[in-house]
Amino acid sequence: MDNERLLHVGLDVGSTTVKIVVMDDDLETIYTSYERHFSDTKNTVCKVLDELANKYINNEFTIALTGSGAMSAAKFLDFPFIQEVVSCKRAVEKYIPQTDVVIELGGEDAKIIYFDKFVEQRMNGTCAGGTGAFLDQMASLLHTDTAGLNELAKNYKTIYPIASRCGVFAKTDVQPLINEGAEKSDIAVSIFQAVVNQTISGLACGRPIRGHIAFLGGPLNYLSELRKRFVETLNLTPEETIVPNDAHLLVAKGAALDSLNRNPVSVQKLKGKIEVLRNSHDTTTKPLSPLFSIDAEYEAFKERHSKAKVKRRDLNGFAGDCFIGIDAGSTTTKLAIIDNEGSLLYSIYRNNEGDPLKSVVSMLKEVYNVLPKEAKIRYARCYGLW
């Protein structure tokens, strides 16, 4: 525990994570934290600052906040807010001054920053295509996480074209590859290559990415195979490739550097500010009115919609003609059995686990196990993407 030393704190509140860096007067990093906030930004910031206050109970702090989710927190905490490009610029100039271009990927943000006569930033819009959130979504299709995606990509043989401008578009490319039995390692590396293509084409927009390139942000810090796809696509040499220590914390370091000339606060004052943030309420948004203001409205809704139900019959003891319909979709398989009057006798809805044929065969076996001997299948048909 440090005693009565002034510490400098940078807090980077991103779209998916909260990062904190604590430096001493020699600008040596003495403490860091990196946590996902799972959309509970306010309470995660409070938690991180509580841990700081409890760890350094005899110290004073200069604090600055940065990041896409920091503006509101900075307002309630009454700490300075630093635009993240400014924080990034300060950190780059301090720690990796040879940098010509920064490529930074966050949870929902993607940026290219050119360091020339003038600093120029290119950033994605409201869509999170080609960012950490996109990688999370794609990893779930392969029943893994981003770390698992990285391990899979190490053993690839083939790279397939996959859209990355939107997660929906990417899924329509990835799911057929899964269904057709493509190697998971090839799909994983193809997802990484899609992120590279989206970043370069969507953000650089034709401007060359040359010189010494620094890779920042959580995904590029933790995912070696994603960095490798960037390096190979841009034809970078080892000398041109910059991966700074704690690349995911560099923007937070920039905020800490910016806090140097700010007024310090004691632990007691910091804890008071934390309570203000914890009890704060956002007054800038206008929530929508509830669909049902009273229970009677909800009950009337249920009664009205309950009239539009499929007529059902019990399959047990059924005798006569019946008909089977199968919908083999990209991710799920659905099966229904009806009688001559269109009444539903039996249904199954199941994830196909990336193997539609196996899913259909399994369902049909299940049907033959439960179908009464007196029931006669007159017709069966399969539709779907498969």
Residue 197 lies in a domain: yes
Residues 46, 113, single domain; the answer is: no
Verify that 168 and 227 share a domain, yes or no.
Answer: yes
Q: How far apart are the first and last CA of the chain?
A: 62
Q: Is the pLDDT assigned to residue 337 strictly greater than 50? A: yes
| Same-domain check for residues 182 and 300 | no
Give the pLDDT score at 334: 95
Q: Is residue 383's pLDDT more than 90?
A: no
Residue 287 included in any domain: no
Residues 187, 191: Cα–Cα separation, whole Å:
6
Whether residue 74 is found in the same domain as residue 48: yes
- What is d(CA 47, CA 35) in angstroms, rounded to the nearest whole number? 10
Measured in whole angstroms, how far is the alpha carbon of residue 238 from the centre of its chain? 29
In a domain, 283, yes or no: no
pLDDT by residue (tens digit) across 240-253?
Answer: 999 998 899 999 99
- Single-letter residue type at 99: T
Instruction: Please indicate, yes or no, whether residues 324 and 367 belong to a single structural domain of this protein.
Output: yes
Length in residues, the chain: 386
**105 and 224 housed in the same domain:** yes
d(CA 179, CA 356): 7
Range of the domain at 352: 294-386
Mean local confidence (pLDDT), 91-112: 91
> Residue 357: which CATH number?
3.30.420.40
236 and 105 part of one domain:
yes
Same domain, 257 and 237: no
Residue 155 lies in a domain: yes
Strand partners, 35: 18
Instruction: Give 278-281 contacts, CB < 8 A, sequence gap 24+.
Output: 278/42, 278/43, 278/46, 280/42, 280/76
Tell me the whole-structure pTM to 2 decimals: 0.77
In a domain, 289, yes or no: no
Whether residues 165 and 211 share a domain: the answer is yes
Q: Which pLDDT score, from 0 to 100, does residue 1 have?
A: 47
Position 286 in a domain: no
Q: Is 288 domain-assigned?
A: no
One domain for residues 298 and 354: yes
Query: Is residue 145 located within the same domain as residue 236?
Result: yes
Q: Which of 59-63, 266-270, 280-284 has the lowest mean pLDDT?
A: 280-284
Q: Which two tokens stand for residue 22?
A: 């604590």
Structural domains in the chain (count): 3
- Has residue 285 been placed in a domain? no
* pLDDT(276) > 80: yes
